[in-house]
Amino acid sequence: MGQHGDQVVATDSGRVRGRLEGEAAAYRGIPYAASPVGALRFAPPRPCPPWPGIREAVQAGPAAPQAPSRLEAVMGTRTPDWDEDGCLTLNVWAPAAAREDGRPRPVLVWFHGGGFSSGSGGWDWYDGGRLAARGDLVVVTANYRLGPLGYLHLPEIGADNLGCRDQAAALRWVRDNIAAFGGDPGTVTVGGQSAGAFSALALATDPATAGLVHRVLLQSGPWSLPPQDPARATEHARAYLGLLGVPEDHTDPGAALRALPAGQLIDAYGTLARQLAGGVAPPMYPVLGGAGTALAFPDALAAGALDGKPLLIGTTRDEMTAFLGLDPAIRSLTRDGAVDLLARQAPGDGEAERLYARYADRLPDATPGRIVIAVQTDEQFRAGALEIADRHATAGHPAYVYEFDYAAPGADNPLGACHCAELPFLFGTFDAFRGSPMLGRPDAAARALGDAFADAVAGFVTTGVPHGIAAYEPGTPGSVRHFAPSPADGGDPR
């Protein structure tokens, strides 16, 4: 088959036809499970029924039902594209020659973030074609059920970490089918960003899926967030049913929920989120002890669940600006107001004052609001990432740590290197993020930074060793690789 040969691949459910896009072959919208509609709403993912003939795989499937992301003001807006019917799909990008030369490529299976409430693996933000071609690897992104359709905790109707079950089903699909696309099912990196990183670590450590994962990429995971307590998840489920007019003593709550339009379920979830506002956790997310979440991460790591798997983990420099940096109340904080806020997490006598002073010494030019954001960045993201890396490296397993330091140009930019800032650099999708406040207008140095970050990740997926990142040494800040643009136009990033 030549460069312009027919891009038809046989999967377990039928044949799909992709297309060449530059130096990669793209296959979009491939079902990995049956549509979760009708009787399958709130059911574990079921095998996709076979289809006749050849299915055209040139368009991504619809997103799972969701409300707009709370980070639209940071990342940019999306036109709603969700549909419950047909949402359990995945997308594959492979180097153009991958099916021809008989050399299986390593695979990156990557899950999007969005607080377990929004996002889609089919969005152009996460187009894997450039990364696949540049790194000579196969990239897979997948949708999974979100919000109440993915994480409502009602085991009596089958609703038990369904989003986790979807992700596991996608990973099994990769095991069974990726060789036909030129991928190596024996060299699979599972990765993701934010909620996707939380999910990736769960997949890598849960006994049901750990054997399918060989390397782990964790970007900006919310590591301060433990899996949801079952009792709390049950409380939220009951409150949610009440908002929908389904009484606790209903004889068949599953039937009542399946009879409602998906949009109504999403609207009620938004109402519940507003009622519970004040915490960092979404109302519904993976529940401890449920499918795919057998143990909290510290317990799983202590039990050796990640042993032997190379780990690449990192954060952005200013994670929490995405959540707090545009808030007028935070931007106008006085020193006393900042100390009062910090007292909620450092309640001991004088602890908040000492915490503030420690960060003020480290960040002498920071406003009180930025000091609060720096504390929260460490608390919610960085401390947990370093703890995971410390555990892994101390136990003698390969660990690599990065910090992503790109901030959109402009002295008045309140976002800095915020949560999600690295995404267009990893995938090379700057055009898809055009107009995004967190990106601004990337120059040649920013694009060179993207090449360096993508090369690091590709090296890790391919060999287990990221290009340009030294092995992490616990307690040694110098072993953390900082990705920042070089001041020289187009020069090598630091």
- The set of catalytic residues is 194, 319, 419
Q: d(Cα 12, Cα 14) in Å, to the nearest integer? A: 6
Q: d(Cα 229, Cα 284) in Å, to the nearest integer? A: 10
What b/e string do you get for 223-251 counting C-beta neighbours within 10 Å, with b at 16 or more?
A: bbbebbeeeebeebbeebbebbebeeeee
Query: Which residue intervals of 276-350 are DSSP H helices?
Result: 297-302, 321-324, 328-331, 335-342
Q: d(Cα 383, Cα 386) in Å, to the nearest integer? A: 5
Q: What is the dihedral of CA 50, 54, 59, 63, to 10 degrees?
A: 0
Closest CA to 420 of 221, 270, 124: 221
Q: Are 317 and 382 in contact (CB under 8 A)?
A: no
Side chain identity at residue 49, one-letter code: P
Residue 317, phi then psi, degrees to nearest 5: -65, -40
CA-angle at 177, arms to 451 and 310, nearest 5° = 45
Closest CA to 370 of 320, 419, 422: 320
Q: Directed axis angle between helix 368-377 and helix 335-342, to 10°?
A: 20
Residue 238, phi then psi, degrees to nearest 5: -65, -40
253 by Cβ neighbours in 10 Å (0-12 / 13-18 / 19+) ranks as buried
Could you tell me where the beta strands, DSSP code E, fall in 200-335? Answer: 215-219, 311-316
Question: Other CB atoms closer than 10 Å to residue 281's CB: what's the count?
Answer: 16
